[in-house]
Amino acid sequence: MAEIVTVTGGEVRGSSVGGVTRFLGIPYAAAPIGPARFEAPRPVVAWSGVRDALEFGPTCVQSPYPPPIHALLGSDGIPGDEYLHVNVWAPENAGGDLPVMVWIHGGAFTRGANSRTIYDGTAFARDGVVLVSINYRLGISGFANIPGSASNRGLRDQIRALEWVRDNIAAFGGDPGNVTVFGESAGGMSVVALLAAPPARGLFRRAIAQSANGSAVATAEDADKVARQLADLLGLEPTAAAFGALGADELRSAQDALALELLADPDPERWGASIITSGLGLMSFFPMIDGEIVPDRPVDVLAAAPDRTVPLLTGWTAEEFRFFTFPTGLAAAITEQTLPPLLARYGLDPAVVDRYTANRPQAGPADVFAAVLTDHVFRDDAMRIAESSAAAGNPAYVYEFAWRSGIADLGACHVVEIPFVFDQLDAAHALLGPTPPQRLADEVHRAWVRFATHGDPGWSRFDTATRTVRVFDSPESHEVADPRADELRALRRAKLTSGASV
């Protein structure tokens, strides 16, 4: 394809290497500066001449990850105001009507960017897909419920980016009628939210939700509490005008300070029950139920209105929560005595420990905690969303990524599957260890390409009778009918017994 294309706003120049043309940092909306930071995304500002799209663009204001996580993932932070942009990778000689995949990055809704090396779209373009990765507003900028502001601004940005794809992707050889939206962690939660969001209907044909859930939303009342705590911390009136006057450093410092206060004092009376249970006390700013973009908890919307579903690929890593338990040092504080109240804090009946411990007689309390939270936060909702899709007659495919990292204590943890999906193993040794299996990357990446192209990743469809799950592992992957079903049943009883929503 040509290295200069015309998009909304003007012409952009990309670069070609090895049969792939890439365009970096193309704006899909105006820079959210001042009070506009708290408004719905505005139309992109046109430019004159040809705009170079040769380098990654700015990122939304954020702090580096804490040292243990930074050592595994690195951090993001390119300064600048024009951070509502997309990157596009396409085959150099794209002839048109190629499948399109739109990637939404994770980072707990407060961190992350589309510039991360493991999100490089070269392998997808090599295999005949037009890959788009997007940035969106994070943290205070994207999700703080400031009076007078637009709600769920980060999700509104994602919808605007998908509209940009609809209007412009043909210029890169892509088919606007064959778009698959996919994301991981907060990006996967965003995918599920977009499935349930009325304004997003018709903007994508298929969805892939990696390590996601459909329950991590705050009530408007609890989001109000967080906003008041934030305003008190800053000594400001809680208005969009007052917050719009803050600079990037002030926003960053306030975001970090509030997160530390939440961790130090996870009192539901102070923050709201949904912040502690749905956000696990780990997320200060995340989507809230607003009746417009987020009508209700997405998992409930999809169950009640299965017509909102689309062909779906969803799954989890087998030991997701080890990522949050062992590198952070939390594991050392989890004992037989502290485990029950810790589970109760997350809205679970501690009796659930009995089933998980019986299945893991050699596991310590921290291992059991990580197993329970893996299912509570990720596996349970993934299965529920697949159930909704299957009930609607839409194809649903479920996976578990079980390959264990070569880094001590991580196991098959959160994030570990991403370099396999993008076929970027060389960029992720700090997370994967020295010898990740390329055969498995070939298999996983091929499955994602197949699903985006034809709607079939290459294994049996999920249905409510067989509940088939593809287990990705090395040396061989395989299919399992309803893996660890006894644990999932026990977990769902624990939610019901505790009074937690399910």
Residues with a known catalytic role: 185, 320, 414
Please report where in the chains the tokens 């909702």 appear, as a residue: 381
Contacts of 250 (CB under 8 A, 6+ apart): 234
Sign for the CA dihedral angle at 444, 120, 327, 213 comes to negative
Q: In this structure, which amino acid lies at residue 90?
A: A
Q: Packing angle between helix 186-196 and helix 380-391, nearest 10 degrees?
A: 30
3-state secondary structure at position 317 = strand
Contacts of 367 (CB under 8 A, 6+ apart): 360
CA distance 199 to 478: 38
Return the closest-CA partner of residue 161 out of 137, 134, 142, 185.
134
Q: In this structure, which amino acid lies at residue 437?
A: P
Helix or strand run (H / E) with residue 302: helix 298-304
The first and second tokens of residue 114, run together, are 């589309």
HSE-CB for 98 with a 13 A CA cutoff: 29
Find out whether 231 and 251 touch, Cβ atoms under 8 Å. Answer: no
The first and second tokens of residue 479, run together, are 């299919």
Q: What's the N-to-C CA distance of the chain in angstroms?
A: 48
Longest dimension (CA), the chain: 67
Contacts of 390 (CB under 8 A, 6+ apart): 396, 461, 462, 463, 464
Find out whether 147 and 239 touch, Cβ atoms under 8 Å. Answer: yes
Query: Rounded to the nearest 5°, which phi and psi values hold at 232?
Result: -65, -40
Length of the chain: 502
Query: Rounded to the nearest 5°, which phi and psi values hold at 246?
Result: -75, 145
CA distance 303 to 324: 29
Query: Rounded to the nearest 5°, which phi and psi values hold at 369?
Result: -55, -45
Find out whether 92 and 16 touch, Cβ atoms under 8 Å. Answer: yes
DSSP per residue over 317-331, as a string? Answer: ETTTTHHHHSTTSGG
Q: Which residues of 100-122 are buried (b: 16+ CB within 10 A; e: fewer)?
A: bbbbbbbbbbbbbbbbbebbbbb
Q: Packing angle between helix 153-168 and helix 186-196, nearest 10 degrees?
A: 80
CA distance 193 to 294: 7
CA distance 212 to 381: 8
